[in-house]
Amino acid sequence: MNSSQGQRFRFLLASSLLAVLTACGGGSDGGGQAFFFPPPSGGGAGGGSNDTTQQAAAFATDYGSGLAALNSYGGLTNSAFLNNFDDTFLDAGYSKPQVRDALAQEAAALLLFSTELSSFPSVKLSAVTITGCNAANVCTLTATLTNSDVDTTAVTFTTQLSYVGGKFRLLGDQKQA
Residue 177 included in any domain: no
pLDDT 10s digits, 24-53: 333 334 444 555 555 676 554 344 566 788
Residue 28 included in any domain: yes
* Lowest-pLDDT choice from 65-74, 80-89, 164-173: 65-74
pLDDT at residue 1, rounded to an integer: 46
Residue 126 included in any domain: yes
Burial class (CB within 10 angstroms; exposed 0-12, middle 13-18, buried 19+) of 105: middle
Domain housing 109: 3-170
pTM listed for this prediction: 0.74
Residue 74 included in any domain: yes
CATH number, domain with residue 32: 3.10.450
Residue 175 included in any domain: no
Residue 118 has pLDDT above 60, yes or no: no
pLDDT 10s digits, 141-157: 999 999 877 778 899 99
- Report the DSSP beta bridge partners of residue 147: 123, 153
Query: Whose CA is closest to 67, among 28, 12, 122, 19?
Result: 122
Higher pLDDT, 23 or 77: 77
Counting the structural domains of the chain, the total is 1
